[in-house]
Amino acid sequence: MYQIAFFDAKPYDRPAFEAHGAAAGLSFRFFETRLSVDTVELARGCDGVCVFVNDDVNAAVLDRLAGFGVRIVALRCAGYNNVDVRHAFGRVHVVHVPAYSPHAVAEHAMALLLTSIRRIHKAYIRTRDFNFSLDGLTGFDLYGKTVGVVGTGRIGRIFADICRGFGMKVLAFDKFPAADSGLEYVPLDRLLAESDVISLHCPLTDETRHLIGRDSLDKLKKGVVLINTSRGALIDAEALIDGIKSRRIGAACLDVYEEESDVFFHDFSGHIMGDDVLARLISMPNVIVTSHQAFLTNEALNNIAETTVANLLSFFRDGQPDNELCYRCDRIESCRRARSQRCF
């Protein structure tokens, strides 16, 4: 039975992974701590590791893992900006879950948008205090508004379809446009200037880091609503605060945050918030923050476990892991090697 060190484990992770792992002959060792240079020793004696968005799989960690004989890092998420894929090449194989439930994330993005513009969260709090006043709860229709979708992978396209259902005009931007999507692709500057709502669904790369930052604030349509359910660093958090204070940005709906790794998934309700930027954002009446929960549905958790286990088995049985991230190729997620060949 193959041993897998499972880092940053949460109670909601275990049932699906235990069920799928047992059926496949995999044994998971669950650790609540995140993977880092300080905790990598926990993986000694294991055949692989399973990590999430806030585990730090840097060059030093990868060297230690390779030294222990760990042969594969299995991300149980789509994004991989926390893994040094370049350094992993030739040392440790890296796989991910490219699509677990795109509907879950797209639907959460729309839920955030509706909650924000129709003041649902404020009304909920009021009525629990038997305050039925409507003062300050005026919103606006989505029908006829323009939404800019940045990143048109499966999640972005599903979100665009949801917006069409509300009668919105959809503008799209992607470095690699989706063929036959029916989307209207426009330059990024035009999308920023014309969109009443902008939703980010692109991966975090050097090119997309701070896509919404100080340089782009003046390009935004006044009063725009920003949604980010992808990666926190797509938005410069301090620039976001400036944009909100200047009234350039009308509202922000954030399921991710640039410095979330030391905050999200933990309970700090009895403590003073040490992150001043996040504290300021949460204090603003036109900002909604959820703690990276867009993926969190029963369907998504099951799909994540099923795909991750399948990725691991394909490597241990055949030496050819499914959904491998290959730095050697020009597009990391779409390795062009023949399926009959190993990547390294």
Of 157, 231, 258, 306, which one is the catalytic site residue?
Answer: 231
154: nearest Cα among 204, 202, 102, 198: 102
Which among 232, 266, 274 has a CA at the least distance from the CA of 53? 232
Cα separation, 108 vs 87, whole angstroms:
34
Cα–Cα distance, 217 to 222 (Å, whole number): 9
| Residues shown for the chain | 344
260 is catalytic: yes
Q: Is 64 considered catalytic here?
A: no
Active site residue 103: no
Best CA proximity match to 172, nearest among 144, 203, 204, 195: 195
* CA gap 134, 327 in Å, rounded: 55
Q: What is the DSSP string of 235-277?
A: B-HHHHHHHHHTTSEEEEEES--TTGGGTTTS--TTS----HH
- In which order are the strands placed within the sheet that holds 184-185? 184-185, 169-173, 146-150, 197-200, 224-228, 249-254, 287-289
Q: Which candidate in 107, 258, 260, 324 is catalytic?
A: 260
Whole-number Å distance between alpha carbons of 171 and 151? 11
3-state secondary structure at position 199: strand
CA distance 165 to 192: 22
**Residues 54/261, Cβ–Cβ less than 8 Å:** yes
Residue indicated by tokens 């954030």? 254
Contacts of 339 (CB under 8 A, 6+ apart): 320
Write phi, then psi, for 284 (nearest 5 degrees).
-80, 135
Distance between CA atoms of residues 302 and 169, nearest Å: 34
Number of H helices, E strands in the chain: 11, 12
Catalytic residues, which ones? 231, 260, 292
